[in-house]
Amino acid sequence: MAEAGGAPTGGGSGGPPGQVIVVKKKARGGGHGHHGGAWKVAYADFVTAMMAFFLLLWLLAVSSEEQKQGIAYYFNPPSDASQYGGGTGIMGGSAAVEMPAHATPAAPLELAPPTPPGAETDAELAVKAKEDAMFRAVAEEMTKAVMNIPQLKAMLDNMLIDVTPEGLRISITDAAGRELFAQGSAEMNSLTEQLLGVVGGVLGKLPNRLALGGHTDTVPYRGQRPNYDNWNLSADRAQAMRRVITMEGVPERRVSRVAGFASSEPLLPDQPTHVKNRRLTIIVLRSKQGTVAQFSQDGLIAPQGGPTLPPDSFSLPPLTPDLPPL
């Protein structure tokens, strides 16, 4: 029994005597708890899908009709009955989709063979043939014009004309006793200037652009100018040629490039010091627009209806038989 005025000796709330009941209370945190990151993954997938969708719309908007047909053909190519399922071998199996009895298998699509890279079309070959004929006519007219000037007849031995993939190439070389320039200088001799005047007069009738070049042999420059070498000398000589032919009727806008090559492109590689390696070159470039000079009974006519050259027989006589073509 309990002592008078004292606390009960047993546990509270009806528990057995001597047992202590402990109540643990957890404090609740404020705000919202963590809900996980699954929604972020779903949102990222949605954004990616929308980006791909709008990219598809943009591609469809900028694609041509031919490109769209090509894409459609890729996803729905012509097929025959064997492509509907099943096979034809021992373990071919049965068809996954039965074709109607009245259906006709699609005929195989016949595609034109692909054009090899660099191959020329018929139109390009036709333009090239016309240009080659024009080049030969120009070469003959140029030869006739030089031969009509008595003091220039000997200069024919300095000329080499040939047709290359780039166009009509006119090379004017040095010769023993008939140098184009003073030694180690860009000062042009009088006969060289007169010869280039005749060449420029013929080329002035053509629509084609021109590429001009100067070349030297491997003998180094020994002049008095410091920091000057064969590169500078060949470039200065090419510029001197440009000035002469433009004064003779070739428009400045038709000069595509003027370059000095020094001895990097010898005419006679096995004789790098030969005088014929010192030369000037003019290349009548092929026309990218397909514009060529026309022919008539009166000779070669410029496309703009300019003055004509005398009639020609379209035969190119050998100009320098002792020199191999470049």
The domain that contains 193 carries what CATH number?
3.30.1330.60
Q: How far apart are CA 326 and CA 324, in angstroms?
A: 6
Q: Quick one: pLDDT at residue 316?
A: 35
Q: Is 313 within the bounds of a domain?
A: no
Q: Is 81 within the bounds of a domain?
A: no
Q: In the chain, what percentage of residues exceed pLDDT 70?
A: 65
Enumerate residues 6+ apart whose C-beta is below 8 A from 213: 234, 238, 258, 259, 260, 261, 280, 281, 282, 283
* Residue 278 tokens, joined: 């010192």
* Residue 117 tokens, joined: 């890279």
Q: Quick one: pLDDT at residue 92?
A: 47
Overall number of domains in the chain: 1
Position 19 pLDDT exceeds 90: no
Read off the pLDDT band of 33 (50, 70, 90): low
Which one is predicted more confidently, 238 or 110? 238
Domain span at residue 175?
133-301
Give the DSSP H or E segment for 214.
strand 210-215
Read off the pLDDT band of 132 (50, 70, 90): confident
Q: Quick one: pLDDT at residue 37?
A: 76
Q: What is the mean pLDDT of residues 134-144?
A: 90
Q: How far apart are CA 51 and CA 45, in angstroms?
A: 10
Q: How far apart are CA 274 and CA 311, in angstroms?
A: 37
Q: Is 13 within the bounds of a domain?
A: no
Q: How far apart are CA 317 and CA 205, in angstroms?
A: 21
Q: How much is the mean pLDDT over the chain? A: 76
Which long-range contacts link 251-259 to residues 24+ away (Cβ below 8 Å)?
251/204, 254/208, 254/209, 254/210, 255/209, 255/210, 255/212, 256/209, 256/210, 256/211, 256/285, 257/211, 257/212, 258/212, 258/213, 259/211, 259/212, 259/213, 259/214, 259/235
Q: Is 58 within the bounds of a domain?
A: no
Q: How far apart are CA 122 and CA 176, in angstroms?
A: 46
**Does the model's pTM come out above 0.75?**
no
Q: What is the mean pLDDT of residues 281-289?
A: 85
Q: Quick one: pLDDT at residue 247?
A: 92
